[in-house]
């Protein structure tokens, strides 16, 4: 089974207050994207990886990748307005003979290798899989005026992470239908499920958090300085 990596990295980090692409934010001496990619190097998934980027920053991304991974070929593809548009562009750029695509946010630099393996194995077995963790917090559903309207049963709730891994035909079809029906999601597994596909949940780790707000960036730096990852 030919497996290819797709990294959505085209976001501009509005919630982080980033001055440029979030993926290029410094994490203790190297861009976040470099640390994220390194997690996949032992699996042989770096050569030919597709990375979606903000088109205006192509030369910055090219330089960062060439200096961190000399001689490794990457496919840099312009992202779109939303993450889903970026992933869709990336899916179009996969090699014709790719069977399995591993989609992982540039903004999750501490993914465990075991989670990547588990996600790939589950996608081969079931067609689609996502890494996720059971919710520890009780989740509150609010009305528009910030009053509590519903408290879903925590025992069946999971917090979504990436990698999300798919048979290429499965995720391409799900994206196609989402585009046609103008359905937008912040993840890809949801697109598969809404057209009836099975999606296996694979247990991840709390360290695989997404760097979203300034506090997450501070935490990420502590993780590195503390030698936790």
Among residues 11 and 127, whose Cβ is nearest to ligand CTP? 11
* Burial per residue of 173-201, b for 16 or more beta-carbon CB atoms within 10 angstroms, e otherwise: bbbeebeeeeeebebbbbbbbeeebebbb
List the structure tokens of 169: 């035909």
Binding mask 151-180 for ligand CTP (x = CB under 6 A): ------------------------------
Q: Which of residues 9-38 bind Mg ion (CB under 5 A)?
A: 11
* Burial per residue of 152-166, b for 16 or more beta-carbon CB atoms within 10 angstroms, e otherwise: eeeeeeeebbbbbbb
Is 83 one of the binding residues for ligand CTP (CB under 6 A)? yes
For residue 172, the surrounding DSSP H or E stretch is helix 168-180
Among residues 34 and 211, whose Cβ is nearest to Mg ion? 211
Of these, 5, 57, 102, 105, which contacts ligand CTP (CB under 6 A)?
105
Is 51 one of the binding residues for ligand CTP (CB under 6 A)? no
Q: How many degrees, rounded to 5, is the angle at CA 74 between CA 79 and CA 83?
A: 20
Among residues 21 and 31, whose Cβ is nearest to Mg ion? 21
Strand partners, 31: 26
Of these, 82, 99, 121, 176, which contacts ligand CTP (CB under 6 A)?
82
Interface residues with Mg ion (CB under 5 A) are 11
């Amino acid at each position: 089974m030919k497996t290819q990596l797709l990294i959505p990295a085209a976001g501009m980090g509005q919630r982080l207050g980033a001055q440029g692409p979030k993926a290029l934010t410094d994490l203790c001496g190297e861009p976040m994207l470099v640390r994220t990619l390194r997690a996949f190097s032992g699996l042989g998934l770096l050569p030919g990886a597709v990375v979606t980027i903000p088109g205006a920053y192509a030369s910055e991304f090219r330089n960062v990748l060439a200096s961190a991974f000399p001689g490794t070929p990457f496919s840099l593809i312009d992202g779109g307005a939303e993450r889903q548009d970026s992933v869709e562009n990336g899916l179009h750029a996969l090699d014709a003979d790719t069977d399995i695509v591993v989609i992982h946010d540039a903004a999750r630099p501490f993914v465990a290798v075991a989670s990547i393996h588990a996600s790939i194995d589950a996608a081969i077995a079931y067609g689609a899989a996502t890494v996720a963790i059971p919710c520890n917090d009780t989740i509150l559903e609010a009305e528009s005026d910030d009053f509590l309207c519903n408290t879903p049963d925590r025992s069946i709730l999971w917090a979504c992470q990436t990698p999300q891994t798919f048979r290429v035909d499965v995720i391409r079809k799900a994206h196609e239908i989402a585009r046609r029906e103008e359905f937008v999601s912040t993840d890809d597994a949801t697109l598969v499920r809404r057209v009836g596909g099975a999606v296996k949940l694979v247990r991840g780790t709390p360290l695989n958090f997404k760097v979203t707000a300034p506090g997450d960036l501070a935490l990420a730096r502590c993780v590195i300085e503390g030698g936790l990852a």
